[in-house]
Amino acid sequence: MASVWPPTLSCHNRSSWTWKHNKKNHFSSFTLPKSSLSLPTPRIVHDHSRAKINQPFLQRLHNLCDSGNLNEALNLLHSQTQNAVVSSSDVIKEAIGLLLRACTLRKDIDVGRKLHAIVSASHRFRNDVVLNTRIISMFSACGSPSDSRSAFDAVKEKDLFLYNALLSSYARNALFRDAISLFLDLLYAKELVPDNFTLPCVVKACAGVADAGLGEAVHALALKFGLFFDVFVGNALIAMYGKCGLVDSAVKVFETMPERNLVTWNSMMYSYSENGGLEECCGVFKGLLSEEEGLVPDVATMVTVIPACATLGEVGMGMVLHGLAFKLGISEEVTVNNSLVDMYSKCGYMGEARVLFDMNGGRNVVSWNTMIGGYSKEGDFSGVFSLLREMLVEDKVKVNEVTVLNILPACSDELLTLKELHGYALRRGLQIDELVANAFVTAYAKCSLLDCAERVFCGMEEKTVSSWNALIGVHAQNGLPRKALDLYLVMRDSGLNPDQFTIGGLLLACAHLKFLSCGKEIHGFMMRNGLELDKFLGISLLSLYIQCGSILRAKLIFDKMGNKSLLCWNAMISGFSQNELPCEALDTFQQMLLSGIEPQEIAVMSVLGACSQVSSLRLGKEVHSFALKAHLSDNTFVICALIDMYAKCGCMEHSRNIFDRVNNKDEAIWNVMIGGYGIHGHGLKAIELFELMQNNGCRPDSFTFLGVLMACNHAGIVTEGLKYLGQMQSLYGVKPKLEHYACVIDMLGRAGQLKEALKLVSEMPDEPDSGIWSSLLSSCRNYGDLDIGEEVSKKLLELEPDKVENYILLSNLYAGLGKWDEVRKVRQRMKEIGLHKDAGCSWIEIGGKVYRFIVSDGSLLESKKIQQTWNKLEKKISKIGYKPDTSCVLHELEEEEKIKILKNHSEKLAISFGLLNTAKGTTLRVCKNLRICVDCHNAIKLVSKVVQRDIVVRDNKRFHHFKNGFCTCGDYW
């Protein structure tokens, strides 16, 4: 299109202001003001109808037309011509012209058709250009473009004015393709050349079919014919480019126009507003006010720029516009008043909105809907229904589909009100509207009445894809994902093809079901139909793979996304964190910062969770600092994530400091603090906090009791744990779940009360899961109970026959009792089914970097120094009582080999590395993927004494704080 732009004219009075083009595609809810697309009225040649009326007949006819007595005027014309009272062709032609113009103004198509019949039957007038042009325009105004076409076709010799009149008729009646076809016929008529009345109609037709390419071709013709600088042509081009989303092209037309009128400015404002350039729209308005032409904003201006202020939340500028509209005397125009009410309500100024609404004497249904919608968005449901009652007694307006759609969000929690509204909609026939029916489907689903939602759906006469989408979506979102998939199959069998909204619902259903194979099929459909790059579906696809644990596929999709939104980054960071890939989550968070995206609460929470997983205290502190600078540290979810992060990094004092600084603590904050004490084995502190929580008016919930029971478990206070389990239902009304029973069963097993643990298992209301049997088998190994251990192992292997940890527990049970033949059988079974034991792994953070160590791993350059460091430490701790406990080595080996294996346990390597690379007095924080063994526990206690360091070890069960030869677990873990 660059070749058809004219050079910049030196005489062009350019604006002194500039604006930037925003390419977002956010469409305004307001229709395009008519004045912004107004077209020039086709010129009528040889028209004497405006000449001085100097005959009594014409004067009388004129009076009848003015008074609206068109049938009497037609009878007068008949009587005068049939009785030969009037014989002059010019007078008769003028009389017919008068009547046709009156029919156009009054939209009286019946009289107009009779006049058309008179003209068609007249040899003198049937090919008269002026009369036929008026006839075409009359039929157009009466909404009958087919009659306009018939009148056009009946004329033998067609000139440009007839073409222009029919083009205007087609454009006016939204027959845009017919207008384009007629324009092509005009171009083939070589003797006719389009003028500045032709092209605006054609450009409007191009906008109507959203064909930017054809519009550019018409633009080129305008340049060729020298019509580009006509203000009507330029206005139409601006509107067309805006409608097609080519705002840059609209700006070029605007800037190169030598003459601009108010419609020009309005069209430019609307082009920006239509395409999401709301700030630029306001900039054009400011430019209009600063121009020297002296143009005064009109109603169309106001109803374009006021909604832009509403969307931007610029209530200050909105108030200025309100004042300007008042000064110009247009603030009481119903469309302007409606725009102002909408602006104030969207900006949260409901009082001001209501005052304007009440002052509006000419309120229409849009006025009521705007005010009701404002109350609904604010959550003021009493205001919604109060206004609805007022509307129902209003005679001038009736509730329509938009009213119902605005009210329905207020009914989501009020079943009775919802059913009343539904009954009203049925009586008024409003549910026939597809959007209303779909909204009722969604509203019933939010009230957990999916059967009612289905009945509404089944009652729809014609079910479209949108209708199916509503039903599929509510089932996917309300815990019935399999039903959502079944509904899709029925929809497909009915002959309807899915759209992007259907795909979104199906992806959500597959994610809930973790139905990866079905998700892959949907992904394939998306690729074949070009939907993979849809930004909303991309996020849904990302979530599907993340929830199904296919994190590599999720990463591939994420990397292919062009402009990644905040939602994409959040999904990927939380996905890595959920799938226990904390380092990848931290890396992605850093990439997000580098890309210029400002993280919000979700990303901060996810990355804090990642820091918790690797006990990365330094990075956690950095994220904490970021949250403080970004003013996110007051958010409840971020506070909970910070308390949890510090607790899981072994810094309970930091967790407690954050906790104590929160003034209004909700249940979640109390729960996460109690849980932190629980994993550290501070049972008494957790119980103390539990009592304090109740004293502060917070009622404990399921998560509270889980933290308390965990604390009792790790502290070995069995009596208190059993007491709280018994009080959950009876005293607090909280029904114990499987995880509560699992915690207490593990507590009994750790305390050696295996029979009591089995008894509780048998009394549980739910079937025990693999976690319960696993913890019992581990306790049997600790206490050497072979009989119960073998019984439990059978249950465990029935539930999870392919999990390596279960076989390791059974093997350790046999090894601890010296039953090496049984050990070999278990290991042979593992070999047969292809299972391999996970190696012990520990990691430590130094200088913001995490170092990993695997048992007997010598891959680090410092491995010799690490081994030498441990040997020195072992000599020192041996002098104060350390003796290797080889019972921890569950292999049939010589004693020396067992001692050698103990030296290379991963936590010992990590601690040695930490001592080599940190300053004296620095606390060492080590994480381990398995439970710490007795030998390492004994050794580290003594190491903390000889090196005078605090050492914190987090194994897969709890925290151990070693200091001056003691551990906070009290040797109970």
Domain boundary among 837, 857, 878: 837
Residue 951 and residue 853 share a domain: yes
Relative orientation angle of helices 601-614 and 566-578, to the nearest 10 degrees: 20
∠ Cα 33 37 40 (to 5°): 135
d(CA 615, CA 609): 10
Is residue 943 included in any domain, yes or no? yes
Question: Domain check: are 779 and 822 in the same one?
Answer: yes
Mean pLDDT by 10 residues, the chain (973 residues): 31 36 34 40 42 66 89 87 70 90 93 92 89 94 93 90 93 93 88 90 93 93 90 94 93 92 94 92 91 86 94 92 93 93 92 91 89 87 84 81 84 70 80 81 77 82 83 85 89 87 91 90 88 82 90 90 87 90 89 88 91 87 91 91 94 94 92 93 93 92 94 92 93 92 94 93 91 92 91 92 90 89 91 83 87 76 86 93 85 82 91 93 91 92 94 90 91 78
Query: Of 696, 639, 709, nearest to 673 (Cα)?
Result: 639
Buried b / exposed e over 295-331, threshold 16 CB at 10 Å, is bebbbbbbbbbbbbbbbbebbebbbebbebbeebebb
Looking at the domain assignment, is residue 178 inside a domain? Answer: no
| Final residue in a domain of this structure, among 619, 643, 662 | 662
Same domain, 856 and 817: no
Q: 790 lies in a domain?
A: yes
Contacts with 797 (C-beta within 8 Å, 6 or more apart), sequence order: 806, 807, 810
Domain identity same for 632 and 696? no
Asked if residue 785 and residue 852 are part of one domain, the reply reads no
Q: How many domains does the chain have?
A: 5
Residue 49 included in any domain: no
What angle do helix axes 636-648 and 617-629 make, rounded to 10 degrees? Answer: 160
**CA distance linking residue 96 with residue 73, whole number of Å:** 10
**Residue 725 is assigned to a structural domain of this protein:** yes
Beta strands (DSSP E) in 221-358 are: none
Name the helix (H) or strand (E) containing 85.
none
Which residues on neighbouring strands pair with residue 950, listed in sequence order?
A: none
| Residues 608 and 724 grouped into a single domain | no
879 and 943 together in one domain: yes
pTM (predicted TM-score): 0.63
Q: 641 CB contacts (<8 Å, ≥6 apart)?
A: 604, 605, 608, 609
Tokens standing for residue 919: 């300053």
pLDDT of residue 416: 67
Q: Give the domain-ending residue among 686, 706, 736.
A: 736
Instruction: Provide the pLDDT for residue 446.
Output: 74
d(CA 308, CA 284): 12
How many whole angstroms separate alpha carbon 441 and alpha carbon 447? Answer: 10
- In angstroms, the Cα distances linking 52 to 49, 56, 58, 100, 186 are 8, 12, 10, 18, 36
636 and 695 in a single domain? The answer is: no
- What is the extent of the structural domain holding 482? 477-563
Q: 146-152: which pairs have CB atoms within 8 A and are 24 or more residues apart?
A: 147/109, 147/113, 147/116, 149/178, 151/116
Residue 923 covered by a domain? yes
Are 864 and 762 within one domain? no
Asked if residue 870 and residue 811 are part of one domain, the reply reads no
Domain CATH code at residue 800: 1.25.40.10
- Grouping H, G, I as helix, E, B as strand and the rest as coil, residue 850 is strand
What is the gyration radius of the CA atoms in the chain, in angstroms?
40
Contact 601, 626 (CB under 8 A): no
Predicted local distance difference test score (pLDDT) of residue 839: 82
Same domain, 485 and 554: yes
Does residue 359 lie in a domain region?
A: no
Residue 973 lies in a domain: no
C-alpha distances out from residue 695 to 469, 472, 707, 732, Å:
49, 46, 18, 14
Task: Look at residue 189 in the predicted model and tell me its pLDDT.
Answer: 80
Residues 871 and 942 in one domain: yes
